[in-house]
Amino acid sequence: MKTSSDPRHLVRRKKVQKLFEWEFKKNKYSDSLIRDIIPTIPTIDDIIAKAAPEWPITQISKADLTILRLAIFELLYEKKNPKKVVIDEAIELAKEFGGETSPSFINGVLGTVVSENTK
């Protein structure tokens, strides 16, 4: 059973924190944890915009956006973990870092992304 002390969860948590920090500093992606993710963000943001057309990127909370970016990177670029695991982890991170509606919003967006990209 997954716990909050699971090493994979802790790495994802750290990646979310680094991506969140990058969002504000826009520094060169020197941190090895997020170095591969940063160049994909424009494409990932387009995917998010299509999956949640009623929510422009600028209106999505930075925490939710960061979690979505990491999850979509894992789903479409890394492809190391099962889709269900990535989505479950994103929901857990949303409970930890997001607002009250974040888990359901992230679940909905990721569900759309998965269904659109597995056709």
For residue 79, being part of any structural domain is answered with yes
Give the residue numbers spanning the domain of 14: 7-116
In a domain, 59, yes or no: yes
Instruction: Indicate whether 2 belongs to any domain.
Output: no
Domain count, the chain: 1
| Residue 34 per-residue DSSP state | T
Q: Is 104 exposed, middle or buried (0-12, 13-18, 19+ CB in 10 A)?
A: exposed
Phi first, then psi: what are they for 108, rounded to 5°?
-65, -45
pLDDT, tens digit, 9 for 90 and up, residues 76-114:
999 899 999 999 999 999 999 999 999 999 999 999 999
Residue 71 domain flag: yes
Write out pLDDT tens, residues 10-49. 899 999 999 988 888 776 656 788 889 999 999 999 999 9
Q: Is residue 82 one of the residues assigned to a domain?
A: yes
Q: Which of the 8 DSSP states describes residue 81?
A: S
CATH number of the domain that 73 lies in?
1.10.940.10
> What are the structure tokens assigned to 79, written together?
């492809």
